[in-house]
Structure 1
Amino acid sequence: MSDDDRRAEIRRDYEAAHGEWDAGTQAVLDLDPGFLAAYSRLAAVPDRVGALPEKVRHFVRLAVAANSTHLYLPPVRGHIRRALEAGATPAEVMEVLECCATLGIHSMNIGVPILVDVLEQEGLRDGAAELDEYQERLKAEFTEKRGYWHSFWNEILELAPEFFDAYTEFSSVPWVSGPLEPKVKEFMYIAFDTAATHLYTSGLRLHIENAVRYGATAAEIVEVMEIAATLGMHGVFEAAPVLAEEARRRS
């Protein structure tokens, strides 16, 4: 098989598996077709195994690409289009994005415990204060709407009850009115918590526990992680066209 024929075959296989082709993919094909073929095989494993329904695999890809710690925008339209083609509704896709929007709370999950440590270190705090009636109501409301409670909420509830009140309403929108089943919502949190651009391990463990309680299987959760594990290629797709352009300039 000639080099041109081999490249054409790789492109056909890639487009059949992934449904998209752009300048970044073309540049990788031109520079190292074997590498693109190896990536194509890696990224297609979830589609070959199929532990998750097709539309849910596209939801996970969207959650990995569109969350605020990654924001790799080139494939977002394709993931949305393919999810819709696989039977997803706009409301379901919107709910994926709503789940991703909660990632920002991790500033509080990480920052408030550090603040508490500093206050105790400086003698400005001596243990947790008792929750008042308002805070107890917020805790009960969060637990009812979100279906769990975790100790990392305690200090946020104590020190920033009004913020926690507003966050409860904000984060609960998908849980109150959203169409996705609970374990699929948890898959979205797992997707961006396990992504290499975030790696929020406390949340990852929590949402794996929640997903299992909602009936998720090990195979389903592993497949979420497999999809997230391919995001390292996004940098290659961005940089390869630059390399190709610079190489042409020098030649």
Structure 2
Amino acid sequence: MALTEHQEQIKAQFVAERGFWGEPWESVLKIDPDFVAAYHRMYMVPWRKNHLSPKFKELCYISINAAATHLHVPGILPHIKAALDFGATPAEILEVLELAATLGIHAMNIGVPLLVEVLEENGRTGPAPLTEYQEELKQEFTDVRGYWHDFWNEMLELDPEMFGAYTEFSTVPWRTGTLTPAEKELIYISYDIAATHLYVPGTKLHIRNALKHGATVGEILEVMEIASVIGIHAVTTAVPILSEELDRRGIEL
């Protein structure tokens, strides 16, 4: 079926601003061109305001797509390519992935306080005073990461071995990476706030840290705008399946 003039205009603007076209957008355009236009307008908001550099926007897309709570594999390669095209180095991309790899510790951030609640219901009194080793771990974390938060207290008290291992793991990009402290905090925000994670305590903490390190409100909002578009993966994942079934049935768009 030939595209209408309205559909052609939507496609032309999409290609001009995004630089690519193909499935599933051709199929969606034929069925619901207004949806393609509305999505494109929303996607382009951070690209028109430009508080963040194009390179850093692409690093945020990599973080969100690669994070364990999303793992949208089809989105990773296009954004790696775009980041490299905008001048990102392999070290910067790996650093973003290292930052995103810390997401798993939220099992402890959420689980340990719940464990303490149950222990207190069963008569626990505490907390116990920190040992010299625990105090050293707390100081090391604070020195390298530049902050301390109360949600680390119970983990440090009850499981110092895991806390020590996590401190070493999470501080690698802070010791060897090339992104600024503000940029690191923005990457943390990018996957904490994404709909597939929505880790509220971490989002607030990293907003506070990002502002402390010099990030602007506009930059933080752009990170959130970038994270807001992952709902489109319902379309980009399912429409090819729809198209395959329509082809099997001999139904033309």
Is the 2:92–2:177 Cα contact (8 Å) retained in structure 1? yes
Is the 1:183–1:215 Cα contact (8 Å) retained in structure 2? yes
Deviation string 1:146-177 (CA, Å, 9 cap, x unpaired) is: 11100000011111111111110110011001
Residue matched to 1:28:
28
Q: Flag structure 1 segments of 5+ consecutive residues without an equivalent.
A: none
CA displacement at 1:22 relative to structure 2: 4.2
Residue matched to 2:201:
202
Residue matched to 1:87:
87
Residue matched to 1:180:
179
Verify: 1:48 aligned to 2:74, yes or no: no
In the alignment, the residues of structure 2 paired with residue 16 and residue 159 of structure 1 have an alpha-carbon distance, to the nearest angstrom, of 56
Verify: 1:141 aligned to 2:129, yes or no: no
The within-5 A match list for 1:112-131 is 112-123=112-123, 125-131=124-130
Deviation string 1:178-204 (CA, Å, 9 cap, x unpaired) is: 000111111111001110110000000
Query: Partner of 1:109: helix, strand, or coil?
Result: helix
Verify: 1:217 aligned to 2:216, yes or no: yes
CA displacement at 1:141 relative to structure 2: 0.2
In the alignment, the residues of structure 1 paired with residue 20 and residue 63 of structure 2 have an alpha-carbon distance, to the nearest angstrom, of 18
In the alignment, the residues of structure 2 paired with residue 246 and residue 162 of structure 1 have an alpha-carbon distance, to the nearest angstrom, of 52
Partner amino acid for 1:80? I
| Matched pairs, number | 249
Say what the alpha-carbon RMSD is for the aligned residues. Answer: 1.4
Residue matched to 1:102:
102
Is the 1:61–1:227 Cα contact (8 Å) retained in structure 2? yes
CA displacement at 1:65 relative to structure 2: 1.0
Is the 1:31–1:244 Cα contact (8 Å) retained in structure 2? no
CA displacement at 1:248 relative to structure 2: 4.0
Query: Partner of 1:23: helix, strand, or coil?
Result: coil
CA displacement at 1:112 relative to structure 2: 0.4
Is the 1:17–1:40 Cα contact (8 Å) retained in structure 2? no
In the alignment, the residues of structure 1 paired with residue 16 and residue 203 of structure 2 have an alpha-carbon distance, to the nearest angstrom, of 32
In the alignment, the residues of structure 2 paired with residue 195 and residue 18 of structure 1 have an alpha-carbon distance, to the nearest angstrom, of 22
In the alignment, the residues of structure 2 paired with residue 156 and residue 15 of structure 1 have an alpha-carbon distance, to the nearest angstrom, of 50
Query: Partner of 1:212: helix, strand, or coil?
Result: helix
In the alignment, the residues of structure 1 paired with residue 17 and residue 106 of structure 2 have an alpha-carbon distance, to the nearest angstrom, of 35
Residue matched to 2:62:
62
CA displacement at 1:120 relative to structure 2: 1.1
CA displacement at 1:247 relative to structure 2: 3.4
